[in-house]
């Protein structure tokens, strides 16, 4: 098996889910274990300036062997989501995929009718789980591809390239992966996150994003004597949910259409809590969504009494197109790298976000590239061996001296 797949299968066995509730940086010890493994692998390859920081960031540099080239950054995140288990990992290979639905285990099926990308994988080899965990391809596929590129460059000094700055970041899945990356020390002229999906994607538009937390305060009294006295916080939360547009959810939107996404509910008659993420490619429309949440809060308070509902909104990231638009040569370079490998690039708007959004607004133009994996954040997540190998070739062309 190729080096990129060896790296990938190693890394997915290191549990590194992030967890927003801890308030730590990194948010979980598993991410430090992953950072340590990456540090050891980079040192074994001979990368320079390898550093493993206490906050979970780890980086290194492939020295230039050609003059007059930009310093190109390559970035991937070492955490995975915690909405599904990531351990114990029992991945398996589906060789020479025939185009049919795959029973991966635990009653879970991967179907090309449901996931059309699989139709393009006929005859290729896939990596899937046993249906009980995520695979961790988001973003350990990107991590493995960057590491395989580093191995190639260090082993082949004859391929001309400028300096390549490599960084792996924690806590991307909880929206804070790029906050503490020291760009002055990183010293890249521009960069790419390798954190996408189907082969060929070059993404330089993403959602404007915010999160919303709602707390509901009730009065819990024995139901036998509750008339005109009980205030049921769980019912308040249910009423709030009913006020939001039913068709502005992820299940009913696509492309550049925004949404409200309910991600957590905790409710008792005494206290209730809702957590939402809100998204829109149009910054003005995101502000309208935030204002509507505030009006819904006011409606709940008007019905149940002032202070019954509290709302906290936090901005997460902005549409990186605003920051990348003056630097479209970075996008063009990525497109040419795909074309050099026989892959037609596509430029879909990201229905999500990457570290590249924050980094672009911090002054480091940073589009996002594909990894050759799909169905992220669920047990149907899978990766294509040949597409991951092609991504290593694409990264090679990306950094090749010009």
Catalytic residue ranges: 79, 172
What is the Cα–Cα distance from 272 to 314, expressed in whole angstroms?
19
What is the Cα–Cα distance from 373 to 135, expressed in whole angstroms?
10
Q: Confirm if 333 and 345 have CB atoms less than 8 A apart.
A: no
Cα dihedral angle (139, 86, 379, 138), rounded to 10 degrees?
Answer: 0
What is the Cα–Cα distance from 85 to 156, expressed in whole angstroms?
39
Structural element, H or E, at residue 255? none
What is the Cα–Cα distance from 128 to 62, expressed in whole angstroms?
32
> b/e string for 109-122 if b means 16 or more Cβ within 10 A?
ebebeeeebbeebe
Q: Confirm if 44 and 134 have CB atoms less than 8 A apart.
A: no
How many CB atoms lie under 10 A from the CB of residue 295?
Answer: 9
CA distances from 70 to 187, 247, 317, 331 (A): 10, 46, 27, 15
């Amino acid at each position: 098996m190729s080096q990129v797949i060896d790296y990938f299968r190693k890394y997915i066995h290191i549990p590194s889910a992030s967890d927003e509730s801890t308030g730590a940086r990194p948010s979980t010890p598993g991410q430090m274990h992953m950072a340590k493994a990456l540090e050891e692998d980079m040192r074994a390859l001979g990368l320079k300036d390898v550093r493993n920081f206490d906050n979970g960031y780890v980086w290194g540099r492939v020295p230039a062997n050609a003059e007059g080239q930009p310093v190109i950054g390559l970035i991937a995140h070492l955490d995975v989501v915690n909405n599904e288990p990531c351990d114990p990992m029992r991945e398996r290979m589906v060789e020479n995929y025939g185009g049919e639905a795959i029973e991966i285990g635990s009653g879970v099926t991967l179907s090309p009718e449901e996931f059309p990308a699989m139709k393009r994988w006929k005859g290729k080899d896939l990596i899937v789980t046993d249906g009980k965990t995520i695979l961790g391809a988001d973003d350990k596929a990107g991590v493995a591809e960057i590491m395989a590129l580093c191995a190639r460059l260090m082993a082949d000094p004859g391929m001309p390239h400028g300096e390549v700055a490599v960084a792996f970041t924690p806590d991307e899945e909880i929206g804070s992966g790029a906050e503490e990356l020291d760009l002055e020390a990183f010293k890249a002229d521009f960069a790419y996150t390798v954190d996408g999906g189907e082969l060929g994607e070059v993404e330089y538009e993403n959602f404007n994003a915010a999160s919303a937390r709602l707390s509901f305060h009730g009065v819990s009294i024995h139901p036998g004597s509750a008339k005109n006295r009980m205030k049921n916080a769980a019912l308040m939360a249910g009423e709030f949910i009913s006020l939001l547009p039913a068709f502005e959810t992820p299940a009913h939107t696509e492309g550049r259409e925004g949404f409200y996404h309910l991600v957590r509910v905790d409710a008792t008659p005494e206290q209730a809590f809702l957590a939402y993420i809100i998204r829109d490619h149009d910054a003005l429309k995101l502000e309208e969504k935030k204002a509507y949440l505030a009006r819904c809060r006011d409606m709940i308070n008007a019905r149940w009494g002032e202070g019954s509902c509290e709302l906290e909104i936090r901005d997460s990231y902005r549409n990186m197109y605003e920051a990348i638009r003056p630097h479209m040569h970075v996008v063009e370079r990525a497109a040419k790298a795909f074309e050099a490998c026989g892959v037609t690039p596509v430029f879909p708007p990201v229905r999500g976000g990457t570290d590249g959004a924050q980094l672009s607004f911090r002054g480091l133009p940073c589009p996002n590239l594909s990894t050759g994996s799909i169905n992220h954040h669920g047990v149907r997540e899978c990766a294509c061996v040949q597409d991951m190998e092609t991504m290593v070739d694409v990264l090679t062309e990306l950094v090749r001296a010009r």
